[in-house]
Amino acid sequence: MYASSLFNGLAGIKAHTRAMESVADNISNVSTPGYKSTRAAFEDLIYQKLGGAGADDQPGSGAFTNVVNIMAQSSMQPSDYATDMAINGNGFFTVEDPQDEGALYYTRSGDFTIDQNGLVVNPEGYVLKGFAIDDEGEINKNVLVDIVVPRAPQGAEPTDLVNLGINLNAADTRTFNDSQAIDPTNINTYNTTSSFEVVDADGVTHYLTAFHQRQKNEDGGVGLTWKTSVFEYSGGTYIDNPPDPDNTYYLRFDDKGQLSGVSPNGTAYADNGEINLDFEFDEEQRVTLDYSPTARNSSTMLAGANETFYLDHNGYSAGSITGVDIDRYGMITALFSNEEKEQIGVVALTNFKSPTELNRIGGTLWQATAAAGDPQVEQPGDEDLAMGKIKAYALENSDVDMSEQFVNMINYQRAFQANSKSITTSDEMLQKAINLKT
C-alpha cells in the first residue's frame, strides 16, 4: 500500500519545526541591537508522477522550509556613549577578528567601545575598520585600517600668531604726548586695554594685556594714532614683556576709522596690520600680532565701545584625550582637555548587492558570500553607492515585530498539530488495511 501521506506529514512537521525555530530565534533577540530577523519560506516538495497517470495524478511529497534573512531598517534608540553608532540607511560596519588578521565581518550593531590600546571594538573584541586621514586632511580610501583613538597626551604647540580685531572708541578724546609712558597701574596713563593669551614651548599659558594710549596730533589736537604697550600679568603684578621699549608699538587709523598701519617706532608703518614681538619666557619666543587678520575682522577706531570683536591664536598647551565626536559622514574627531581637536579616521561602511544572502555567524556578525556579491566599501553618505549615514549616541534596535512573531507562532503551532493529525490518520488507515487480511 502506498503510504506517502505519512512522509508528507513528517515533512510538514519538520518544516513547521524549523519555522518555529525562526520565530523563537527572533523573539529571543528582540532586544539585541542591530539584530536582523528571519522568516520561514515554505515550498512544496517535488511531485512524483504515477505511472501512466495524467497531470491530475501527481501527489506531492510534503513541504520544506528555507529560513530567509530580513534586512529591514529598524528604529533607533538614544545612547549615552559617543562610540555607539547607528546606520540610517544602507551598509554595514566592517570589523576584523583580532585573532585572524584579514578576516573581515559585517554588522549593523554599532555597540562599540574603546579598549586599553585605543582600538574601537565591539563586545566580542572585533576591531572597527575605517579610512585613514593624511597630514593634509585627505581621506585615503584605498585601504581599510584600524580605527585608533590616541591614548597618549597631546604635546604642547607654542603660539607664533595672534589674530586681533579690536575697536578703539573714536569718541574718547583723552590724548597723551608720546613721551608719556604707559603705566599699567595708573589708569590716567592710558585710555583702554585689550587682552590675549600666548602659549610657550613648554605648554604654559601666559596672560598678556595691551594698554592703548591715544596720541596727540602734531597740532596738539586729537590724533588718529594710538600707542600700545604690552604687559604680562604674572604673580599678581604686571611686567613688561617683551622688555621695555620692545613691548611698545603704534596703531594708526585713517579719517574713516579704518586701520591704516602698524609701526614698532611710530615712523615706518606696515600696512598689513602685523607687528612682531619677542617675548621672554623660559626662552625667547617670537609672536606676530595681526590686527587685520581679514578685511572683515580688521581693527577699527569708531565711536562706540572699546572691545575685542575678534580673537584667535594658534598654539596650545598639552592636553589629554577627553572623548570623541563622530559626525554623520563617519568622521571621528578626538577631543582633548586643551580644547584642541584632531581628526583621527573615518568609519567605513560596506554594502552588498544582495545583503540577504550574507552568512549569519552569530554575535550580530555576517560573513560575505559569493551569492551576496562583492563588498562595496565607501564613506557614510556616499551618494553613488547610496550609503547610509551615521547617527552617533544611538543604537539601531532589533527589527523583530513581536505581534507578527506571535501570529506566526499560532499559525505554525496549528499547522504542526494538523500535520501530526495527518500522520495519525494515515496510520489508522494503514492499520485498517492490514486488518483486512486477517
Residue 35: the pLDDT is 85
Residue 333: the pLDDT is 95
pLDDT at residue 146 greater than cutoff 80: yes
Q: Which of 147, 122, 105 is nearest to 332 (CA)?
A: 147
Over the stretch 125-139, which tens digit does the pLDDT of each residue have? 999 999 999 988 899
Over the stretch 414-425, which tens digit does the pLDDT of each residue have? 766 776 666 677
Distance CA 184, CA 186 (A): 6
Angle at CA of residue 271, ends 270 and 275, nearest 5°: 45
Find out whether the peptide bond into 123 is cis, omega within 30 degrees of 0: no
Across residues 45-66, what is the average pLDDT?
A: 50
Find out whether the peptide bond into 245 is cis, omega within 30 degrees of 0: yes
* 3-class secondary-structure state, position 176: strand
33: Cα separation from own chain's centroid: 19
Distance CA 398, CA 389 (A): 18
| C-beta of residue 339 within 8 angstroms of C-beta of residue 349 | no
Q: Please state, for a pLDDT cut of 90, what percent of the chain lies above it.
A: 66
Over the stretch 186-239, which tens digit does the pLDDT of each residue have? 999 999 999 999 999 999 999 999 999 999 998 999 999 999 999 999 989 999
Measuring CA to CA, how many Å separate 295 from each of 216, 256, 273, 287, 373?
A: 27, 15, 11, 21, 55
Question: What kind and span of H or E run contains 277?
Answer: strand 274-280
Across residues 96-114, what is the average pLDDT?
A: 94
Instruction: Give burial (CB, 10 Å; 0-12/13-18/19+) of 193.
Output: middle
Residue 157: the pLDDT is 93
Residue 406: the pLDDT is 76
CB atoms near residue 21 (< 10 Å): 15
pLDDT at residue 7 greater than cutoff 70: no
Q: Which of 20, 15, 34 is nearest to 400 (CA)?
A: 34
User: Can you read off the three cell numbers belonging to residue 339?
Assistant: 580644547
DSSP per-residue codes, 112-146: -EE-TTSBEE-TT-PEEEEEEE-TTS-EEEEEEEE
Return the higher-pLDDT residue of 437 and 191: 191
Q: Angle between the 4-28 and 402-435 helix axes, to the nearest 10 degrees?
A: 160
Every domain of the chain and the residues it spans: 4-72+399-435, 84-119+322-396, 161-313
Alpha-carbon torsion, ordered 103, 108, 111, 116, to 10 deg: 20
pLDDT at residue 118 greater than cutoff 80: yes
* pTM recorded for the entire structure: 0.69
Handedness of CA 277, 278, 281, 284 (dihedral sign): positive
pLDDT at residue 62 greater than cutoff 50: no
* 3-class secondary-structure state, position 28: helix
Distance CA 347, CA 388 (A): 12
Distance CA 355, CA 438 (A): 61
In this prediction, residue 43 has a pLDDT band, given cuts at 50, 70 and 90, of: low
Residue 144: the pLDDT is 96
Over the stretch 67-86, which tens digit does the pLDDT of each residue have? 677 888 989 999 999 999 99
Q: Which of 327, 316, 333, 325 is nearest to 389 (CA)?
A: 327
User: Can you read off the three cell numbers belonging to residue 212?
Assistant: 592703548
* 3-class secondary-structure state, position 291: coil
Fold for domain 161-313?
Tick-borne Encephalitis virus Glycoprotein; domain 1 (2.60.98)
Across residues 279-294, what is the average pLDDT?
A: 95
Over the stretch 375-413, which tens digit does the pLDDT of each residue have? 999 999 999 999 999 999 999 998 887 787 777 777 777
Report the mean per-residue pLDDT for the chain: 87
Torsions phi, psi for 84 (to 5 deg): -75, 130
Angle at CA of residue 26, ends 24 and 28, nearest 5°: 70
User: Can you read off the three cell numbers belonging to residue 431?
Assistant: 492499520
| Pairing outcome for strands 104-107 and 92-96 | antiparallel
Return the higher-pLDDT residue of 34 and 100: 100
pLDDT at residue 49 greater than cutoff 60: no
Distance CA 186, CA 400 (A): 75
Q: Please state, for a pLDDT cut of 70, what percent of the chain lies above it.
A: 86
